[in-house]
Amino acid sequence: MNQMSPRPPALLWPLIACLYISQGIPFGLAMEALPTALRHAGTELATLAWLPLVGLPWVLKWSWATWVDNHWAMAAGRRRSWILPMQAIVLGALLGVWFLGISVDTLPWLLGLAVTASLASATQDVATDALVAEQFPSRYLPTANGIQVASTMVGFFYGGPVFLMIYGRLGQAPAMLALALPICVSLLLALAWREPATQMIHRSDRASLLRFFLSGRSAWLLVAAAFLSAVTVVPCHSLGKLLLADAHWPLAKIGQIGTLGGVMTILLGCGGGAWLVRRLGAWPAFHAGIAAAGLAAAAWAWLASHSPSLPVAIVGIATLLARFGAGCASVAIMTAAMDFTRRRHQAGTDMTMVQSSRDFGEMAASSVFIALAAQLGYVQGFLLGLGLAALTLCAALPMLGARRKKHHA
């Protein structure tokens, strides 16, 4: 039996929640709010096509994760050395947007500030993931990762739809102030927290990508499972809204389904996923999430075959299954990754490899599935999602014994 793990300091819980919220805000602003606000101001669509490239640092952050792991100031702490300046850069970028204003004339500057904030947020994510892996005992990781996924989503919605609502009703200054406040709170919490002292790492133990690649089957299975899980849940998200639009659903109704889906992801996916990981273990919960995503793909395929007659009840069930599956699988794979990395000296690098694999899978699959649906139809796109769910379940079967082995270790 494992000994009772010590409780993490109380300040760590609101700290990680605020850090992950603040990391999601610039992404939501760049991907959701700025394109809408700039289009409303008269910006051409071809020009707005550059904004999604703001997300590239999140896919490429693995290339500098070892630097984050290997360099820090002893006085600030291994992870605070990066979190504090990155938070300040994000805050400065938001203040820059506030100063310049959102307009066609300021677009080049806005794009530069968005890239700067994205780079800082992606770098901070390396340090924040490592902080969670190092500071939270194993039995608290499911809850911590539930907070991670949910808080990042909250930040994305806060920086996107919520910002647009405030911007449209109250103007730019109140909207930018609303975005800056959570960043200030997380910065103050990071300043208040004192990270336990970390000794400088011996040269032979320094973080490197090669060490991750030579870590054995467990590391490769984590990367593969993260990639496949992201690809598996994409069809329901990317194709579902397009199917509803082609069935002539009102935009307001589609928006309601999207908002409901976001709430389901946070409450059922992240909350339920964290509960399942605590009860069953990371890999059984991962299988439950992927199975739910597969059932969602099957439900959407049935809906596509009956379009344009789309029963609201079936759409709701398909949305619920997809959102639960996405949240549960994300919490499970991040918990499994952190449990793997916390025993090593390069938690930031290892976690970033898993995260980047998941982000790349999501980004690539979104375009591929839309192109596939355009050529073959929605039904085939959703059925491919069902097949990918089955493939992911089979690929992750070797990891199902991890929980049993851990408890007998």
Confidence (pLDDT) at 407: 43
- Asked if residue 1 has pLDDT above 50, the reply is no
Three-point CA angle 161, 131, 264, nearest 5°: 35
Give the tens place of pLDDT for each residue, 284-339. 999 999 999 999 999 999 999 988 888 989 999 999 999 899 999 999 999 998 88
Give the tens place of pLDDT for each residue, 29-58. 887 788 777 777 777 766 676 776 788 888
How many other C-beta atoms are found inside a 10 Å radius of the C-beta of residue 334?
29
- Complete domains list, the chain, with CATH: 12-195 (1.20.1250.20), 209-408 (1.20.1250.20)
Model confidence band, residue 203 (pLDDT cutoffs 50, 70, 90): low
pTM exceeds 0.75, yes or no: yes
CA 261, CA 258: separation in Å to the nearest integer? 5
**What number is the average pLDDT over the span 373-387?**
88
Give the tens place of pLDDT for each residue, 108-164. 898 899 899 999 999 999 999 999 998 998 889 999 999 998 999 899 888 888 888
Mean pLDDT across the chain:
85
CA 272, CA 287: separation in Å to the nearest integer? 14
CA 83, CA 191: separation in Å to the nearest integer? 10
Return the sign of the alpha-carbon dihedral for residues 327, 293, 393, 407. positive
Give the tens place of pLDDT for each residue, 243-283. 887 888 886 677 678 778 888 888 889 999 999 999 999 99
CA 40, CA 53: separation in Å to the nearest integer? 20
By the 8 A CB rule, do 155 and 16 touch?
A: no
